[in-house]
Structure 1
Amino acid sequence: MSLTQGAPQEVLGTGAPPGTGPTESRTDSGRGRRRQPPSHGRTSRSMFFIVLPFLLLVFVFSYLPLLGWVTAFYDYKPALGLGGSEFVGWMWFEILVSSETQLKQIGQVMANTLAMSFLGIATSLLPVFFAMLLNEVRAKWFRNAVQTLTTLPNFISWVLVYMIAFSLFSTSGLVNTTLHDWGLITVPMKFLDTDQHVWLTMLAWSLWKGLGWGAIMYLAAIAGIDQSLYESARIDGANRFQLMRYITFPMLMPTYVVLLVLSIANILNNGMEQYYVFQNAFNREHIQVLDLYVYNVGLTGNSLSLATVLSMLKSLVSLALLLAANAIAKRARGSSII
């Protein structure tokens, strides 16, 4: 008997191992060629082109303006431009630290700035608790109504907020008028035209404006928590407050830590709109934060170069605080944003 008798013809004809069909043995010919999966490089290029417009926006609005720091080394005159202004080197840096009056004023400004920022950080857990409590409301219509009413103030400009405050708390406002009509006061109370409790007043307006908006991110984080954790805890007999304490709150901590690190990095960036509209001759000393001080020096005081020096130093300090807070968060929790 021949050695090839009874052997599969397709195996003998092609030299392919047993179990290989005729279609599989011709993968390199014509339409029988196998499709290759998309390459990783092609996917990466597609994702890069999707992100590219946003990178360009960040470059244009965040990095390109840094070229303006060069005005800190000139006696910049807007009418003459940078080319017609005198190069003075480090003169504005020396002026910043050589004047005792300037240092005293900067010290008060830094005290106001840090006080406002630390009060904001100290109350940064309020949106977390508000989101947790709002999530426990069973009536959907009531929960949506509360969320809408508390989020709406975020979209109101600070100019309109001050108009509301003036209508309510000025010497001739609704509150003083009502108290006077009820016979509770004889002299109008000064809520706005005073330097007492300015920091707490500004904190109260900030909380009213931003509490609902700050809770949105935590509500989204709550929606992403695995529901099986709650079901297992309920089987073990946990009540609603224990679910909030041992499941919801710990699961929100990573989000809170990231936002806390960003808040620490922005500890010198309070913004100026709120303090600009609420400032007056009575509270100017205690309401002037660093951003408002830079605005007053640059535009009101007509010293754009000195204002640039202050902004430059503020940016460098903020970057150092971001790196420090990120390192502390990474050491404490093992996670960071950088």
Structure 2
Amino acid sequence: MERRDIDVAQSNPDIEGSVQPIRIVAAKKESFLKYFIKNKWLYIFLIPGLLYFLIFKYAPMFGIVIAFKQLSLAKGIWGSEWIGLANFETLFSSAHFIRVLRNSILLSVYQIVFGFPAPIILALMLNEVRQMAFKRISQTILYLPHFISWVVLAGIVINFLSPTDGIANQIVTAFGGEPIKFLQEPQYFRTIIVSAEIWKGIGWGTIIYLAAMTGIDPTLYESAKIDGASRMQRILYITIPGIATTVVIMLLLSLGNILDNGFEQVFLLYNPVTYETGDIFETYTYRIGLQDGRLSYATAVGLFKSVVGFILIISANYAARKISGKSIW
């Protein structure tokens, strides 16, 4: 501010009261400008990530209007007839809705119950390994399935469970049993999918928890060891509390995706015989949207799934903050 403005402000208290917030805002702008210039390369590196989210995540959100229209490819999105909530009424009254919803929830629950703790337990085990050569080799072997595409992995699963020459059925027949057509039996489908997902992702998931463990102060372990704490006690009272925040955040993100089971793994392994336990929102949307051409109805299904996921992650975050004091925000 110029000297003249300061003199006027000092002679008039009312003006001084209005000038003070302006000074604060100007100081904040100047401080942010200096910080931006100092870290300009960090902001430049953010541009590709921001563009990705803007183009592939936020821009397509305008397409949700299709869920409220009877889409005609000839008329286009904006020229198509507005039908309101008719697609949602059709969805909720559909005979397939309950089956698809049940399968999606059950697969996600099984994945959370059995799949979520798996990388935590594996990370705890790897963290206790003191032979670095063995630890590195083990980590490399465990990480490899993550880099295998679901197309290749589905082929491995199909061959492994083959009723003629699959390893699983060779073990069954070796004990005097009859070969089982695992992929054609609905009761086995969820177990197969969850097991395959755990095998594919368990090694990669340990990276997050091992990284969190590196932030734990080593002197805590030394003090506990001097006090006579066993290895299991050090895990229970130092390691697990040290990664508790990371565990809560990962669990909240998993709950937010409870209806998002993934398309590839189910699509590549299921068939009409296993629709009863294997048909989920992703495969259902694919059939009615791309195969049957009911794009408006498929959009309504996807929007319903997204809204449910949003409500779940908000609720889970609120509950976690109230119970443990840890949350995403």
TM-score by length of 1: 0.81
Structure 2 SS opposite 1:192: helix
Quick one: which amino acid aligns to residue 98 of structure 2? G
Cα-to-partner distance string for 1:265-299 (whole Å, 9 max, x where unaligned): 11111111111001113212210111221112111
Give the equivalent residue in structure 2 for 1:167: 159
Shift of 1:179: 4.8
Which among 62, 81, 97 is matched to residue 86 of structure 1?
A: 81
User: Aligned-pair distance for 1:229?
Assistant: 0.5
Match in the other structure for 2:186 = 195
How far is the alpha carbon of 1:147 from its aligned partner?
1.0
Q: Give the aligned residue type for 1:134.
A: L
Counterpart of 2:64 in structure 1 is 69
* Equivalent position of 1:158 in the other structure: 150
Q: Which one has the largest radius of gyration?
A: 1
Whole-Å separation in 1 of the counterparts to 2:281 and 2:244: 30
Query: 2:187 aligns to what SS in structure 1?
Result: coil
Residues 170-191 of structure 1 show CA distances to partners (whole Å, capped at 9, x for unaligned) of: 1223326745885834x43212
User: What letter corresponds to residue 242 of structure 2 in structure 1?
Assistant: M
1:129-278 aligned within 5 A? 129-175=121-167, 178-179=170-171, 182=174, 184-185=176-177, 187-278=178-269
Change (3 A) 1:180 1:259: closer
- Asked if structure 2 preserves the Cα contact closer than 8 Å seen for 1:265 and 1:319, the reply is yes
Identical pairs, percent: 37
Q: Distance in 1 between matches of 2:69 and 2:182?
A: 43
SS in 2 for 1:57: helix
Alignment partner of 1:125 is 2:117? yes
In structure 2, the gaps of 5 or more residues are 1-29
2: CA distance between counterparts of 1:112 and 1:177?
Answer: 26
Distance 1:158 1:265 in 2: 23
Contact 2:173 2:179 in 1 (8 A): no
- Structure 2 length-normalised TM: 0.83
Secondary structure, counterpart of 2:229 in structure 1: coil
Cα distance between partner residues in 2 of 1:171 and 1:66? 45
Q: Distance in 2 between matches of 1:66 and 1:39?
A: 35
SS in 2 for 1:335: coil
What's the secondary structure of 1:76's corresponding residue? strand
Partner AA of 1:174 in structure 2: G
CA contact (8 A) 1:272 1:291 kept: yes
266-275 vs 188-197, greater mean Cα deviation: 188-197
CA contact 1:166–1:173 (8 Å) conserved in 2: no
Counterpart Cα distance in 2 of 1:75 and 1:281: 28
Read off the aligned partner of 2:33 and give its amino acid letter. Answer: G
Corresponding position of 1:314: 305
Measured in 1, the distance between the counterparts of 2:240 and 2:120 equals 8
1:287-302 matched pairs, under 5 angstroms: 287-302=278-293
Distance 2:231 2:179 in 1: 47
C-alpha deviation, 1:211, in angstroms:
0.8
- Alpha carbons of structure 1 residues 129 and 73: separation in structure 2 relative to 1, 3 Å: same
Mapped partners of 2:216, 2:121: distance in 1: 16
Distance 1:281 1:62 in 2: 32
Q: 2:270 aligns to what? A: 279
Q: What whole-Å deviation, never above 9, does each CA across 1:235-286 have from its counterpart, x for those lacking one?
A: 1111222211111111111100000011111111111111100111321221
Higher relative helix content: 2
Distance across 2 between alignment mates of 1:190 and 1:76: 42
Q: How many residues align?
A: 296
Query: Which position in structure 1 is the counterpart of 2:21?
Result: none
Q: Distance in 2 between matches of 1:181 and 1:206?
A: 26
